[in-house]
Structure 1
């Protein structure tokens, strides 16, 4: 007969209770059933576990078995708790990487509303550019990615998260800040453009020509906004990126180009299954993103 965890649990309960009736009540079984289980255990071991039939005093073997049983029961119960918690999304480890604009807008709203839903889930959040996110997904170093889709998207499952409109950002004293409405490419012909990796992704021909003659470029949003604040030039950024950066006091005017949008996707590897906790986080991100509309992201238009 092989020892079973419930035999150890029954013995430990009797040993702690000091009698069969109280132990049986705790275990939800009859005293006779508990007594039979103890006899099976003693028969298997070949030695008695209690000094008398009253079960109030342990033998030397009983003391040793109790010590080992309680240690094993604690480990077993912790394992069961961890397994059940993982299945219910209250335990686990989720690795997520997102573009900074989403890290500074959608993700805080997700955790503000749902942080108690994750219990003991270890969530690792990193912000990086889209190409780095795709690279991390390819290397299976993250579970969820939030990025702009690239040309190399083989092996990825994608859900469209939101469209982010590009606009011109300038200082409040700049000439463009004195007008309202969308800005045309022609209006930017004679402006000093502070190019960046996001604006360089706009495929419209006027944008390509504008970036080819740009003498200033920066990749860090803090540096970009600092130069715009100093009225060194203007830049072009998606609205969410502006909202997530140090943009207080700056003016945002949307581009007249209707296709100047950044499409952000929720990504994961097609050949892997997300954990319950990761699926829960994914669902919450989609819910928050669905609630966000472009006309409420920020009121920077003049």
Structure 2
């Protein structure tokens, strides 16, 4: 039975032209290499070399060398691919995050650790939290980041950060001239552009403001465009304003410290991440830890 070891040993002898150099290259003794060649020739029933000096191939030897080198190259490429995948040097990572994370945290992960990911097939999508959960349930992504919560059946969740809500208004808006946190009462009488993020704030004054709102938008760019046109004010997490980086807007924090969203990293409970996905997860956690400590430069 032919083995890859036989093909490699024969090809090494054929390329070096002698047993001694081939043995050094293979890390074996000349006698062990000679015995391997004899076993190979016995199996084939024909000699591979014209003389015992191993410096001239027979016609069979020439044919075997051509086939062996092609097979060895394929085998070595396969081994490198397998080992690269296991080391997270190769592979595919599918990640979906809410837009604010996609434009702030993820770019920092990539810029800090790009050498780790140069050979990876990275698929990055931004979407709302409910869509992220939908994609996880259907195994279409490996990692999700959103406001999904800690105790969701079938998912493992890690709290990344808490992001405070605040009021965003145009510089021409009356609230822009004031300073300090904004109370719920101070928002009464102002036109609110409601959105799905602020609609989840549990405080009753916030719910009352949303019930009275006649204008709702979901796309952050559209919301901020209307705010910049001074059509109304809106309430969004602070990170959203960093991601938007639009001039002409004022962000004022809410006085209600409980008005925060929690961003979690989530993955399927019963699925084992690939080495590449595990590495990406680790780099996200490291980057967010620096962000939370204030080590990262924020917009």
Rounded to whole Å, the distance in 1 between the matches of 2:257 and 2:92 is 40
CA offsets, 1:194-217, max 9 Å, x none?
111111111211111211221111
CA contact (8 A) 2:168 2:250 kept: yes
CA contact (8 A) 1:95 1:124 kept: yes
Rounded to whole Å, the distance in 2 between the matches of 1:22 and 1:103 is 55
* Residue in structure 2 matched with residue 203 of structure 1 by the alignment: 202
| TM-score, normalization by structure 2 | 0.95
Q: How does 1:90-109 map to 2 (within 5 A)?
A: 90-109=89-108
* Residue in structure 2 matched with residue 183 of structure 1 by the alignment: 182
* Structure 1 position 151, deviation (Å): 9.2
SS of 2:244's equivalent in the other structure is coil
CA offsets, 1:249-281, max 9 Å, x none?
311111112211110000000101112211111
CA contact (8 A) 2:50 2:56 kept: yes
| TM-score, normalization by structure 1 | 0.94
Rounded to whole Å, the distance in 1 between the matches of 2:150 and 2:28 is 64
Structure 1: any 5+ residue segments left out of the alignment? Answer: none
Rounded to whole Å, the distance in 2 between the matches of 1:294 and 1:196 is 29
* Residue in structure 1 matched with residue 214 of structure 2 by the alignment: 215
Rounded to whole Å, the distance in 2 between the matches of 1:225 and 1:294 is 29
Alignment pair present for 1:270 and 2:269: yes
Q: How does 1:1-150 map to 2 (within 5 A)?
A: 2-149=1-148
SS of 1:83's equivalent in the other structure is helix
RMSD: 1.8
* Structure 1 position 56, deviation (Å): 1.8
* Structure 1 position 298, deviation (Å): 5.8
Displacement over 4 Å in runs of 4+: 294-299
* Structure 1 position 181, deviation (Å): 1.1
Rounded to whole Å, the distance in 2 between the matches of 1:160 and 1:282 is 13
Rounded to whole Å, the distance in 1 between the matches of 2:73 and 2:262 is 50
Rounded to whole Å, the distance in 1 between the matches of 2:148 and 2:297 is 22
Rounded to whole Å, the distance in 1 between the matches of 2:152 and 2:73 is 46
* Structure 1 position 246, deviation (Å): 4.0
- Count of matched residue positions in the alignment of Structure 1 and Structure 2: 298
